[in-house]
Amino acid sequence: MNRMNKPDNVTPLKIADAERGLRHVFVRDLLLDAHIGVYKHELGSAQPIRVNVDLSVSEAPHGDALDNVVCYATVVDRIKAIVDEGHLNLVETLAERIAAVCLEDERVQTARVRVEKLAVIPEAAGVGVEIERHRPHP
């Protein structure tokens, strides 16, 4: 462990990086209603969640064409589709599914996903999980 209490073999995510040819695509504070949770009071009705996504994307000359970039609107549509699939027990499961669909695009190298429940604990603005997943190296 280093002085920041991180394992020495873990490199902090540098999302945009000119030297490595990476750009940062993000979705901030996406507010949705989701059927999520394991507790009795969470079953049978939707509750508010907040989703944040940070993607580290391989840059390429894009020529100002939407097909040549990772589109944040597409990312949002995919998140909404996952939420609309039905009840999930865990925010961890939702975060993993979001990361997985983001990594389906070969240009996405890293996905950091934060999912928060906003109305579960009255004294907290939000509770949840943040994960980071990397594209496996060939």
Q: Is 117 a catalytic residue?
A: yes
Catalytic residue among 6, 14, 40, 117: 117
* Cα gap 50→118, rounded to integer Å: 7
Please report the pLDDT score of residue 10 as a whole number.
Answer: 47
Which pTM value belongs to this model?
A: 0.87
Please report the pLDDT score of residue 21 as a whole number.
Answer: 84
**C-alpha angle 99/103/107, rounded to 5°?**
140
Please report the pLDDT score of residue 136 as a whole number.
Answer: 80
Please report the pLDDT score of residue 116 as a whole number.
Answer: 98
Please report the pLDDT score of residue 41 as a whole number.
Answer: 87
The low-confidence residues of the chain, meaning pLDDT below 70, are 1-14, 62, 138
Chain centroid to CA 121? 22
Whole-angstrom CA distances from 73 to 69, 84, 96, 128, 133 are: 11, 16, 19, 23, 21
